[in-house]
Structure 1
Amino acid sequence: MKKSERLNQELIYLSDKKVFHLKELEEAFAISERTALRDIADLEQLGLAFYSETGRSGGYHITNSKLLLPIRFNTAEINAIFFALQAIKNISETPYSNAYQKIQVKLLKNLPTRLQKQINLQEEFVQYVSQPSLNKVTFFDLLLKACINNDLVLAENQQFIKEKQKLQLLDLFYQAGNWFCHAYNLDLKRWFVLRLDKFKVVKQLKPDRVIMSKNELSESYQEYEQKHYCIPYQCLLTKAGEQKVKYNSYPIMKVIHNRQGIYLNGSYNKEELHYLVDYLISLGSEVKIIKSRELKEKYLEKLQRIIQQY
């Protein structure tokens, strides 16, 4: 690691500390005592304000609680930032949809001319093909805040329940061109996976009952998964099938390699069997269902309906 990069990393490392010791820097950055002492002197020149104390409770005491020092990025990190900005532009159904271009312009203007030219060339010769959002999400901002703040919301999403529901959201996730959430219905005491674009009404509520903490929500969902996603299945994959699964898979799916071949293992909830059937059909001839019998039968029924169209 270059010295300038190491100093930058040391600033980040110290940004939330009030006291640090020489030995900490030596161990964290694999440097000698002599190098650590030189780095501390350089950090002081860069603007890190501290005083040293000897003795048992001694060390370097940082006097500015927030480090208002410039964090510098190397060329590889800058390239990574611009690659990421380009890659997420198509996932545009968020409260920040219009911000990506502005962020890119601001970042670009703060770069040296040489790096600006490099980024412009990168955009000219590197094509970004990412999966776009398929549907507009009206209440993304409210749902995101509800998830972060663990708020209780009154919502209308008619995928499973026709009337309004009182929900707590565990998380939001992006899958196959759509945004989803894991939502706990407080009245029914049941978990649902809901598409965000299907929400027609969302209102924040003051809790009229004891709601679960974030940890309790997470534990509740894990228990739900174990209880309801209880029917095991197994499929044989080709190498091309494995690549397709890696590109688009679900958290409860696992790809297993053994001497016999490549397998897709998992378990499903009977209520959501049709989603799994559609997913496996999307893999085409790169998958063969080994078990369960029910899954195989539903898969063949769906294939027959497709064939009958021709």
Structure 2
Amino acid sequence: MQKSQRLIQLIMRINAKPSFTVGELAAEFGLSTRTITRDLQELSELGVPVYSVQGRGGGYRLLRERLLPPISFTEGEALTLFFACQTLDYFGALPFGEGADTALHKFYHYLPADRKDQIDRLKDRIMFWSPFRPMSADILQTLLQAIMTNVVVTITYKSGSGESERNIQPIGLYANSGYWYCPAYCFSRGDIRQFRADRILSAAPNESIPSRADISRKTLSDKPDKDRLEQTILRLNLTPKGVFELESNPRIAPFIRRKEDGSGTANVQIAAEDLSFYADLIWRLGGEAQITGPAEAIEYMRQKLEAVRRLY
């Protein structure tokens, strides 16, 4: 076996079992302990995070951050991954630490010169824009780690009613309009709730609370079941532009009934507790959409209008 192949296999072996001895590796590879020791020293010099443990039961261990063996990419695949990382540039924070930046640098560094020139010509000509929303990268990383390890997190959450401490079991993370959201089971409320990450003031793993197996099986594709909650019908009149704006909204689009002149109506069944959320969504359309019911939604809009009128 060539030395380069042996080193690659050593990396794979070390990743599979982070704690090992030179004797174990020598027996497995059919080599002397002196050769294995030299190989480990060379891997360490190349950046593989291996360190020795002295004393009884000692040997070698791998630091937490493992290295993958070399992976071959075509130029097209490398470009795809390069621009995939660039889509994250405008987020205020990411749950991946500096991983995206370092991966982007590596892909760029090892691309052929002509491909680098092509990417340089695309700078400021292709942009994956997202509104900048400042938030804590540490909190995002804590939530991501909790999802991967299936542990409960204790958070301090700021809502309209003030700050509160919650124990939550995160289901996932997703981004929308620059914000990160974390659907999670809230042990305080006994239900699945939606948490906006920038409103989480602190977050720490809490292994004293066992995670729920049924929650750990859920994904972001599992929508909260609100049929058991009190329901109401949001009734809308829409101008042609209002129809155009809401046809791309999956919450409302299925209920739109278009008229011959391009205008339309919509009767949307929603949970009563979500009424203000939907009213705020319609508010952004100005005169292109009118809420005709229920009365609570109309009153909510009047209060918003009055608040704006007082400002001017």
* Shared fold, TM over 0.5: yes
Pair 1:228 & 2:229 matched:
yes
Q: What is the identity, as a one-letter code, of the residue corresponding to 1:199?
A: I
> Using a 3 Å threshold, how does the CA distance of structure 1 residues 230 and 150 change in structure 2: closer, same or farther?
farther
Indicate the residue corresponding to 2:141 in structure 1. Answer: 141
Deviation at 1:162, TM superposition (A): 4.5
Kept after mapping to 2: 8 A contact 1:254/1:265? no
Deviation at 1:90, TM superposition (A): 0.8
Indicate the residue corresponding to 2:112 in structure 1. Answer: 112
> Using a 3 Å threshold, how does the CA distance of structure 1 residues 150 and 198 change in structure 2: closer, same or farther?
same
Name which of 275, 282, 285 aligns with 2:284: 282
The aligned runs of 1:60-99 (5 Å cut-off) are 70-74=72-76, 80-96=80-96, 98-99=98-99
Indicate the residue corresponding to 1:199 in structure 2. Answer: 200
3-state SS, counterpart of residue 125 of structure 1: coil
Q: How far apart are the structure 2 equivalents of 1:265 and 1:110?
A: 55
Gap regions ≥5 residues in structure 2: 1-67
Deviation at 1:287, TM superposition (A): 2.0
> Using a 3 Å threshold, how does the CA distance of structure 1 residues 151 and 246 change in structure 2: closer, same or farther?
farther
Q: What is the identity, as a one-letter code, of the residue corresponding to 1:254?
A: A
Q: What is the identity, as a one-letter code, of the residue corresponding to 2:141?
A: D
3-state SS, counterpart of residue 299 of structure 1: helix
Deviation at 1:140, TM superposition (A): 0.9
Deviation at 1:286, TM superposition (A): 2.5
Kept after mapping to 2: 8 A contact 1:252/1:267? no
Deviation at 1:257, TM superposition (A): 5.2
Q: What is the identity, as a one-letter code, of the residue corresponding to 1:283?
A: L
TM-score, scaled to structure 2: 0.62
TM-score, scaled to structure 1: 0.63
> Using a 3 Å threshold, how does the CA distance of structure 1 residues 135 and 69 change in structure 2: closer, same or farther?
closer
Q: How far apart are the structure 1 equivalents of 2:125 and 2:141?
A: 35
Deviation at 1:142, TM superposition (A): 0.8
Indicate the residue corresponding to 1:56 in structure 2. Answer: none
Kept after mapping to 2: 8 A contact 1:137/1:196? no
Q: How far apart are the structure 2 equivalents of 1:246 and 1:80?
A: 30
Q: How far apart are the structure 1 equivalents of 2:231 and 2:281?
A: 18
Kept after mapping to 2: 8 A contact 1:170/1:217? yes
> Using a 3 Å threshold, how does the CA distance of structure 1 residues 82 and 265 change in structure 2: closer, same or farther?
farther
Give CA deviations for 1:190-217 in whole Å, capped at 9, x if unaligned.
Answer: 2322221222332222254562334655
Deviation at 1:302, TM superposition (A): 1.3
Q: Which range is displaced more, 183-192 or 210-219?
A: 210-219
Deviation at 1:189, TM superposition (A): 1.0
Indicate the residue corresponding to 1:176 in structure 2. Answer: 177
The aligned runs of 1:1-310 (5 Å cut-off) are 70-74=72-76, 80-96=80-96, 98-159=98-159, 162-208=163-209, 211-214=212-215, 217=218, 222=223, 224-228=225-229, 230-238=231-239, 240-241=241-242, 244-245=245-246, 252-256=251-255, 258-260=257-259, 261=263, 266-310=268-312
Gap regions ≥5 residues in structure 1: 1-65
Kept after mapping to 2: 8 A contact 1:82/1:119? no
Q: What is the identity, as a one-letter code, of the residue corresponding to 2:96?
A: Y
The number of aligned residues is: 240
Q: How far apart are the structure 1 equivalents of 2:268 and 2:119?
A: 42
> Using a 3 Å threshold, how does the CA distance of structure 1 residues 229 and 111 change in structure 2: closer, same or farther?
farther
Deviation at 1:180, TM superposition (A): 1.8
> Using a 3 Å threshold, how does the CA distance of structure 1 residues 110 and 279 change in structure 2: closer, same or farther?
same
3-state SS, counterpart of residue 86 of structure 2: helix
